[in-house]
Amino acid sequence: MKAKKINVKGSEISIIDRDGLIYICLTDIIRPFGNEAILYNWLRNKNTIEFLGIWEQLNNPGFKPIEFDRFKNLAGLNRFILSPKQWIQNTNAIGFIVKSGRFGGGTYAHQDLAFEFCSWLNPEFKLYLIKEFQRLKEEENRLKSLDWNLQRTIAKINYRIHTDAIKDNLIPPLVSKSQIGKVYASEADILNVALLGMTAQDWRETNQDNSGNIRDHASIEQLVVLSNMESLNAILISKGVSQGERLQQLNEIGRRQLLSLFTASGLKHLSADQK
């Protein structure tokens, strides 16, 4: 959960990703305007409590509505005080994260809540925050696209190695171009079935509204494994391993490699590390 940084009107704001949800550091946002007493004042507001409760009900199946109603009834009273930690502990909320530590510590809020807080705190600051946040997301999407294109290119290069192995070992002499094409398609579908679970024809029949082919819609992780599988299949072909046995081996290896990639955080930062 390594924080990324954006600069908003001279203030460095930390942003973290937890389980696909984006959180913005409210402690950083508050710093130019005062201390965290500002946040507690916002949380005391009845409209704030209602907003937080509705957001949790929409996004959090584990939210405790009874505790939410209790806070809502207390909101507005002079004696009512609420901190993000109390809100989390009592309602099982996911909209806030409270982190301890000298570096990266502080109160974080989901982007929806952070933008709402900024509307109350300083609308001008909110507009600059949204602008920089969008710039960060656009840069991340651009790098992700570069990653995908890189892996698609590697897969195409490895496919040439794969087809050469087919030509040298599986295609007998003096056959027609049509027969050769069927062999290539058959071998390509071994990889498709082993990794993607269906043939190219099966994909076309179930995705008639989509352009391109089955591999054009693969994820970065799938393309990485596909590149490995093409090279491995070429080796297995040259060793005379039967098509059925190769399919089974490739499927087992593909599953293991995908599991490793999906559980390794390093792949998510591939582009950042290469810069």
- The domain segmentation of the chain, as residue ranges, is 4-121, 141-274
Dmax (CA) of the chain: 92
**pTM > 0.75: yes or no:** no
Separation CA 248–CA 239 (nearest Å): 16
What mean pLDDT is reported for the chain? 81
Separation CA 5–CA 25 (nearest Å): 10
Q: Percent of the chain at pLDDT above 90?
A: 32
Ramachandran angles phi, psi of 92, nearest 5°: 60, 40
pLDDT at residue 36 in the model: 85
190-234 pLDDT, tens per residue?
888 888 888 888 888 888 888 788 888 888 778 878 888 888 888
Mean pLDDT in residue range 104-116: 90
Helix-helix angle 111-121:46-59, to 10 degrees: 170
